[in-house]
Amino acid sequence: MTVGRADAEGGGDLELFGYLSRVARRNHQILAGLDVDEPVEAIRNVAADVCSEARIRSEIELTATSTAPAQQERARRRLRARGSGLLVAHTREIAERVRHWQADATVTFAGDQYPYLSVPMKLADLADPDDRRSLSAAYWHQTEQVTADLALAWSTRRQVAIDLGYCSYSAAYAHWKNLDLAEIAAVARATIAATEQSYRANLMRYLEFYAGVSPAHYHHCDLPRLFRGGHWDEAFPEGSLLPTTTAAASALGLDLTATPGVRLDLEKRAGKSVRPFCVALRVPEEIYLVALPKGGHRDYEEVLHELGHVAHFALADDTMPWELRYLPDDSVAEAVAYLFAGLLYEPEFLVRQLGMTTAAAAQFADYARFLECAMVRRYCAKTLFEIQAHEAGDLASSADLYAWWMREVTGMDAPPDLVLTDTDTGLYAVQYLTAWFLAAHLRERLVADFGSAWFADAAAGSELHRIWTQVNRHTSQTFLAEEVGVGALDWRPLCTSLAARNPGRRHRARG
């Protein structure tokens, strides 16, 4: 997760520049649990101008008439920012009602009251499947109070896109983000087919071991428990999180203690997001990694992921136009973040950096790759569903279709109303999925050039350093062509990396 920003230097629309800067700083303060130094009303007044329909239509015209690719890409990124800003403005009151409700709501379970927002974490801690189902039922009963607002937000977004002249919400964002939906749909379908057999076999053993249920009874409320992997907590202690993750970055030439502009915020404070994030307030002079260390393999993976974002902002070429530096193509930005997070699937990395035994490292890597495969397939389903649903009309009316896609691809029964919160705004699910494929292409190239232990090779670090300086200017297409040397997305590198290396091993807890 990145929070981009513009600063007051060079080129483009400086009003948009300043608006994005103020929004990002305020978002940083909120998510980091800091005092907010600017009232939201002041920012909204600026947004009404810089994200107006007139400004958006001007950018649409520029993307259609610019003959220079660089100028067209800059216009497209401004268009994306303005269009997203307009949609936020039209749904702001709805979003605030939902946020306030979520912050105040509680869920009753086993005689106790739990904050509504804490339920997913509580589900991860419940070993009894019946308890998870009871808590989940109470959670969704409470959620019914805001279902109408959630549906209204989606129908409003769709209508704004149509009013701008697009045939659908997805058509607007496909244009704003230069997404080839037909290509990604084809790759998603190929990935589902290629991973089907291994996924189903591994789902059976891991679901029963970690969540205590069979695939026939797999429900969405089991997902947090499946991913929790508490048996591995000893291998991923809170106190080692920062040394381990920063050492991984240092091995590739990114010394966070010495890189100018990089600031680590690991303090525990009220209101701070439990999920790590990277925020770029001045690129490359002021980049924050904000985290609340708690330990566990998911915490390590998330911090590694955010370190990938830190790298492409902190090492960005500061001569690039502001639109390219501060508004990177999300697919490419997430790809380099996935490259870092994927180190946890490498047994040799686990032995070197975490001191695991060879056997334990191989066992955990198999589990981690299964979780990644589960996520990739889930995002394949989300992508195919979104393309179909947004084109068909209102999202809420496609709830049953969403539940079908989840069951068909992941084997998981999901509450139909989950569609209203699980569907990412801005087609971000499509970009996450694209990022997985881009990361796999890059990893394949690194392995070919530097060997399986590329993450410990100084020459690979130098090459990545060069790539990091250019990441923010790239589109998915230029990244593939210039940094990987291929002409189109291919599902095979990712599916190869997700394949279990020891499919016959019986899974056991680390002892």
Q: Nearest 5°: phi and psi at 2?
A: -120, 150
- Can you read off the two tokens belonging to residue 134? 């009871």
CB 405 within 8 A of CB 385: yes
- Can you read off the two tokens belonging to residue 188? 């998603």
Average pLDDT for residues 124-128, to the nearest whole number? Answer: 97
- Give the N- to C-terminal CA distance of the chain in Å, as an integer: 34
Range ranked top by mean pLDDT from 248-252, 255-259, 419-423: 419-423
Cα(332)–Cα(320) distance, rounded to whole angstroms? 16
Report CA-CA distances (Å) from 361 to 341, 345, 349, 350, 393: 16, 9, 8, 6, 47
Cα(430)–Cα(484) distance, rounded to whole angstroms? 20
Look at the alpha carbons of 137, 138, 139, 141 in this order and tell me if their dihedral is positive or negative: positive
The pLDDT score that the predictor gives to residue 507 is 40
Query: What's the mean pLDDT when you consider all of the chain?
Result: 92
Average pLDDT for residues 88-114, to the nearest whole number? Answer: 95
Least confident window among 291-295, 314-318, 497-501? 497-501
The pLDDT score that the predictor gives to residue 14 is 81
Say if residue 503's pLDDT is above 80: no
Average pLDDT for residues 184-188, to the nearest whole number? Answer: 98
493 contacts: CB under 8 Å, gap ≥ 6: 437, 440, 441, 443, 444
Among 227, 434, 439, 273, which residue's Cα sits nearest to residue 340? 439
pLDDT, tens digit, for every residue of 16-28? 999 999 999 999 9
**pTM as predicted:** 0.93
Say if residue 80's pLDDT is above 70: yes
Say if residue 3's pLDDT is above 80: no
Least confident window among 151-165, 244-258, 268-282, 420-434? 244-258
pLDDT, tens digit, for every residue of 330-359? 999 999 999 999 999 999 999 999 999 999
pLDDT, tens digit, for every residue of 212-232? 999 999 999 999 999 999 999
Cα(249)–Cα(258) distance, rounded to whole angstroms? 12
Say if residue 187's pLDDT is above 50: yes
Range ranked top by mean pLDDT from 57-71, 105-119, 239-253: 105-119
286 SS3 class: strand
